[in-house]
A = this chain, B = another copy of it.
Amino acid sequence: MLNQFGAGGFTDAFDRPGAAEAVVAQSGQLEALVALERIGSRRSFTRDEEIYAEGDPSDCWYQVISGTVRICKLWADGRRHIAEFCFGGDCFGLDNARERIYSAEAVGDAVVMRYPRRATERLIDENPRLVRHVCDMTLRDLAHAQTRMLLLGRMNAAERVVSFLLEMFERRDAVRALDLPMSRSDIADYLGLTIETVCRVLSALKRDGMIAIPNAHRIELRDRTALEAIGET
């Protein structure tokens, strides 16, 4: 199906219309929701597929419908840093730069809505409530970035891994068990550690009875109190 976005080989695969409930729903503006839906297009991505690349023009923003997306940056020397994981309902790619500083990739299969910036800005100009909402969203991202700076700046390996697990349990609304959609390598690059260190910490937590690991991607909480004692700021 055709749509209004010109650039990029993948563009035509975006498909309209789609759901944008989570963005606007709480601002209680049905008409804005409908309008936003009208300017958005939907597309699915397969594992490791690029949603946008570093250097691409930064002319739209996105919302994850299902699956997981990683926002990351690759150094010339091979080092990689993952700035963020986005799950269903999360928005990403919202900035006011000319071009992308990070790339976005699907961690597994994922479905994503895309909204062109220009059209969103027009919508926002007609809808003062909406801008407050976008602002709040950005402020939330900023608060999250600051928490991550704390983690990366001052926590040791065990504290980082435990914080990560607790964050994932909270964000995925998991209580006893959790399936991590990302690989050890993704986790390592998110926490500023190596794969091996992540593995070793997880093994130690398992040995000490704080978690169970029935298979590599599933984590079960066995002693939340002990974990919180390690991971809380």
Size of interface on A: residues with Cβ below 8 Å to B: 36
Bound: A193/B79 CA distance, A:
20
Bound: A154/B80 CA distance, A:
8
Q: Could you tell me if B96 and A136 are in contact, using CB atoms closer than 8 angstroms?
A: yes
Q: Could you tell me if B148 and A149 are in contact, using CB atoms closer than 8 angstroms?
A: yes
Q: Does A196 contact B (CB under 8 A)?
A: no
The copy count of this chain in the complex is 2
Contact of A95 among B81, B96, B143 (CB under 8 A): B143
Q: Cβ of A6: which chain B residues have Cβ within 8 Å of it?
A: none
Q: Does A141 contact B (CB under 8 A)?
A: yes
Q: Cβ of A233: which chain B residues have Cβ within 8 Å of it?
A: 73, 75
Q: Does A210 contact B (CB under 8 A)?
A: no
Other A-B contacts than A149-B149, A153-B192, 13 sampled, CB-CB below 8 A, are: A75-B154, A94-B139, A95-B143, A96-B139, A96-B140, A101-B146, A138-B138, A138-B142, A142-B142, A149-B152, A152-B152, A152-B153, A153-B191
